[in-house]
Structure 1
Amino acid sequence: MIANKQQSFSFSALKRVFANPHKLYDELRATDPIYFDELSQCWLVTGYAEVVAILEDERFTSDLGTYSPKSAMGWDTVQDTLTQSVFFKDGIEHQHANHYLLKHIAQTAKRLTSDIKTIVHQRFMTLAPEGSMDIVKDFASAISFAVTLRVLGIDISEPQKFKRFLGYSETISDIASGFPVGNTQELANLISFLREEVAQKKQTPGEDLISAFLAATDIFPDDEAVLSSTLMILTAGHVTTKKLIGTGTAKILDRWPQLQEEFLNNPALPKQICEEALRMSPPTRYIARWARQDADLSEQFPGNHHIRHGQKILLFLEAANYDPRVFENPKEFNLAHRSVKHLTFGFGKHRCPGASIARIEAHASLQELLHLSHLEPDADHPPSGIPTRFSGVFVPVPSPLILKNKHCVLTKA
């Protein structure tokens, strides 16, 4: 019986039940919220307080280049470029880079709010005549890619070129996520294109993120450092917001008529829905940390928690967001939960720099969708979770989730 219980708490078991893992999370948290998995030789952390403590503990690092092993088939090219980014380093240089990015992203979010809303609306109007859409593939993916390009300062206005490079971005996201599919030549094409954009921005800088990287020579000392960080922003920005919109919409679809009714009297409802949807369905299932030295958490969190140098720790943000010690009735959609900070975008100095941009996209997307009349999922296309890993994270994706209007026209109510 003990062996079976230990086996059920393995990382492999958690991967198998990615569609609805919360029963297993509850059992694991009740047994030990900092649990060592003998099979995978890594720690599984499922408690809110425990995740926060490890995120804030300098003895643990996210240094992808030092600790994450290379994978086969195309990943080496991506990893070699990504791991040069200062955002995958650690220590004071990472802090300076993250602070710089947070400051610039905040300014960008304020300046581009109107543009982001326009991108969302235009995509919606493009899909409206069709009468249905795949919320991830047709809607969220194109929006997140277009917004990320806008933030970086890259203009791909020609539709066929946009579609082609959207495909390149999907390929590089898949390979960076541990799924080596697609044509590896697309990787070279995308990296070559970004290198040209960096060179052009160097000659004619503007009010964009690539220009900001180039201006901060103390943080990004050469063109390759700028390129690696540009690739990181493009890949992470695209994949994360795509999952955010897709999983968030799927999570609240059963309450759609009620939410539409509330929206008539509460224009701020999309922002409120967004935070609870983020808590319940974070686009990042877990993030990875490694112990840079031996660390004993046994006194802070009673139990045998002697973490050894080099051991991997998986912080399940999804589980922490459902911790009943923090969130009352965590499995219920409740807008009152927004008074407690969820961990979807991390915590403290390790929070996601692009969270403000992602929120604007999600708010605008929900606002467009809430205006629809009779929105419902297509019974012929039930959603199914697809596991996607990116740089040590694990992301469930509802695909396909086809939304359609009962009258087959996506018109405003």
Structure 2
Amino acid sequence: MITPQVEPRDIRQAPSSAPVSDVDPFSDAFFEDPHPIHEALREAGPVVYLAKWNVFAVARYAEVHAVLNDPATFCSSRGVGLSDFAKETPWRPPSLILEADPPAHTRTRAVLSRVLSPAVMKQIRDGFAAAADATVDEIVARGRIDGIADVAEAYPLSVFPDAVGLKAEGRENLLPYAGLVFNAFGPPNALRQSAIERSAPHQAYVQAQCQRESLRPGGFGACVHAHVDSGEITDAEAPLLVRSLLSAGLDTTVNGIGAALYCLARFPHEWERLRDDPGLARNAFEEAVRFESPVQTFFRTTTRPVELGGVAIGEGEKVLMFLGAANRDPRRWENPERYDITRRTSGHVGFGSGIHMCVGQLVARLEGEVLLSALARKARSITVSGPVKRRYNNTLRGLESLPLAIEGA
């Protein structure tokens, strides 16, 4: 395993009064083990300047939460990645949800919030739970599995595309597309460039599937298009909102479930607590999202000169938020390095915070809960049975492979 070393000399004082760090949060060393760097950045100050990419960064919970909840000062419409849409052409049409500000964002977000409302989650819950039971029955019968391919990816792909109303053909493009989107938020490194170079078939598939005629009646996608008929959105906006569903409804879920499996397999005491009380499944998933933070970073751009954490930041500056660092900030969390399925996780920023909280969070939470509940009821033990391999992505933190041994109850 590569362990990045953060020496005191990596932090020096900048003329702007912000400490300066030479670390690269988009390097393989960071992806493998970001926590030492997170700690160094948190302790360096409330705001740090990253010399490698010429951006300001916040790693403490208070500042991350403040940036997320002040969209008037820290905007999303200039891109939530390193690229500044005021100066660069986006690689794809910007998201009407993730890369938009009020009032435009307010209108389109309201549509997706109704499509993915708590009431809708209640309607689909039984079907999702039955599919979770089937998935767990299969992996328990096999005994040895890959927790990523056989569960974290397989289960969401067994329920979510059907819920959206996608055709069966071409679904293998969904996960590569989501990975592409989140790699593209990073700098022009090899990960981003390679993802975009390979993106043509994935983009073509998604664009085609987002059209009204491609979607099964009654699914999430058709419900989005129905809001065209009521005049709430336009014909041009509907496919872009369906596109937001396809990334928001899969990436967080896949990496969140993978994180939960990895945590439960590593911390047998917490696994036993879950077995004793499967009602803790929702919180076990939520705590895994806090603990591992599947979405590690997002950018904002300042709309005006602002002082943050005592540091003056000018207009048009990129600010990188370390969500994963905030979720383990000891200023906010007691024993943050401990995975505790009884922890009160309210307030974590694993799904973001404020008006841009992950639009697919209710789907992710539903899938995580029913899957972990089924696992707790049907399995006696879950242990790591081989080498674990990370999947590198400029924004997401997850695993490529997680060998597991599962014994039936």
Q: What is the TM-score normalised by the length of structure 1?
A: 0.82
SS of the aligned residue for 1:306 comes to strand
Counterpart amino acid of 2:366?
Answer: I
Contact 1:244/1:283 (8 A) holds in 2: yes
> How has the CA–CA distance of structure 1 residues 110 and 386 changed in structure 2, closer, same or farther, with 3 Å as cutoff?
same
Counterpart amino acid of 1:22?
Answer: H
Contact 2:302/2:316 (8 A) holds in 1: yes
1:233 corresponding residue in structure 2: 245
- Aligned partners of 1:12, 1:232: CA distance in 2, in Å? 29
> How has the CA–CA distance of structure 1 residues 396 and 208 changed in structure 2, closer, same or farther, with 3 Å as cutoff?
closer
Contact 1:93/1:219 (8 A) holds in 2: no
Spell out, residue by residue over 1:38-89, the C-alpha distance to the aligned partner (whole angstroms, 9 max, x if none).
Answer: 2211111111111111112111111256986499xxxx9x9424x1535422
2:274 corresponding residue in structure 1: 263
Counterpart amino acid of 1:277?
Answer: A
Counterpart amino acid of 2:291?
Answer: M
> How has the CA–CA distance of structure 1 residues 199 and 166 changed in structure 2, closer, same or farther, with 3 Å as cutoff?
closer
> Quick check: 1:42 aligned with 2:55?
yes
- Aligned partners of 1:375, 1:98: CA distance in 2, in Å? 39
> Quick check: 1:30 aligned with 2:43?
yes
Contact 2:291/2:328 (8 A) holds in 1: yes
Alignment length, in residue pairs?
A: 378
Residue among 375, 384, 397 paired with 2:382: 375
- Aligned partners of 2:79, 2:331: CA distance in 1, in Å? 35
- Aligned partners of 1:112, 1:155: CA distance in 2, in Å? 19
> Quick check: 1:112 aligned with 2:124?
yes
Map 1:278-297 → 2, pairs under 5 A? 278-297=289-308
Counterpart amino acid of 1:309?
Answer: E
Counterpart amino acid of 1:89?
Answer: A
> Quick check: 1:325 aligned with 2:341?
no
Map 1:160-179 → 2, pairs under 5 A? 161=169, 165-176=170-181, 177=183, 178=192, 179=195
Between the aligned residues of both structures, percent identity stands at: 21
> Quick check: 1:188 aligned with 2:204?
yes
> Quick check: 1:401 aligned with 2:407?
no
> 5+ unaligned residues in a row in structure 1: which ranges?
none
> How has the CA–CA distance of structure 1 residues 55 and 274 changed in structure 2, closer, same or farther, with 3 Å as cutoff?
same
Spell out, residue by residue over 1:126-153, the C-alpha distance to the aligned partner (whole angstroms, 9 max, x if none).
Answer: 4444332211122111222333323323
- Aligned partners of 2:113, 2:214: CA distance in 1, in Å? 24
Spell out, residue by residue over 1:350-399, the C-alpha distance to the aligned partner (whole angstroms, 9 max, x if none).
Answer: 222221110111112212332313322122xx11322223xxxx111122
> Quick check: 1:98 aligned with 2:109?
yes
Contact 2:147/2:403 (8 A) holds in 1: yes
Counterpart amino acid of 1:276?
Answer: E
> How has the CA–CA distance of structure 1 residues 181 and 364 changed in structure 2, closer, same or farther, with 3 Å as cutoff?
farther
Spell out, residue by residue over 1:236-289, the C-alpha distance to the aligned partner (whole angstroms, 9 max, x if none).
Answer: 321221111112221232223x33433344231212212221210111011111
2:73 corresponding residue in structure 1: 59
> Quick check: 1:351 aligned with 2:357?
yes
> How has the CA–CA distance of structure 1 residues 324 and 354 changed in structure 2, closer, same or farther, with 3 Å as cutoff?
same
> How has the CA–CA distance of structure 1 residues 166 and 139 changed in structure 2, closer, same or farther, with 3 Å as cutoff?
farther
- Aligned partners of 1:110, 1:221: CA distance in 2, in Å? 28
4+ residue segments displaced more than 6 Å: none
> How has the CA–CA distance of structure 1 residues 210 and 292 changed in structure 2, closer, same or farther, with 3 Å as cutoff?
farther
In the TM superposition, residue 400 of structure 1 has moved relative to its aligned partner by 0.8
- Aligned partners of 2:222, 2:272: CA distance in 1, in Å? 42
Spell out, residue by residue over 1:186-228, the C-alpha distance to the aligned partner (whole angstroms, 9 max, x if none).
Answer: 4323422332xx1255xx8536343234324544211x32112
> How has the CA–CA distance of structure 1 residues 186 and 94 changed in structure 2, closer, same or farther, with 3 Å as cutoff?
closer
Q: What is the TM-score normalised by the length of structure 2?
A: 0.83
In the TM superposition, residue 96 of structure 1 has moved relative to its aligned partner by 2.2
> How has the CA–CA distance of structure 1 residues 66 and 247 changed in structure 2, closer, same or farther, with 3 Å as cutoff?
closer
> How has the CA–CA distance of structure 1 residues 386 and 260 changed in structure 2, closer, same or farther, with 3 Å as cutoff?
closer
- Aligned partners of 1:86, 1:270: CA distance in 2, in Å? 29
SS of the aligned residue for 2:329 comes to coil
SS of the aligned residue for 2:145 comes to strand
> Quick check: 1:274 aligned with 2:285?
yes
Spell out, residue by residue over 1:151-191, the C-alpha distance to the aligned partner (whole angstroms, 9 max, x if none).
Answer: 323353xxxx3xxx232112322332232465733432342
Counterpart amino acid of 1:174?
Answer: G
Task: Name the structure with the higher helix share.
Answer: 1
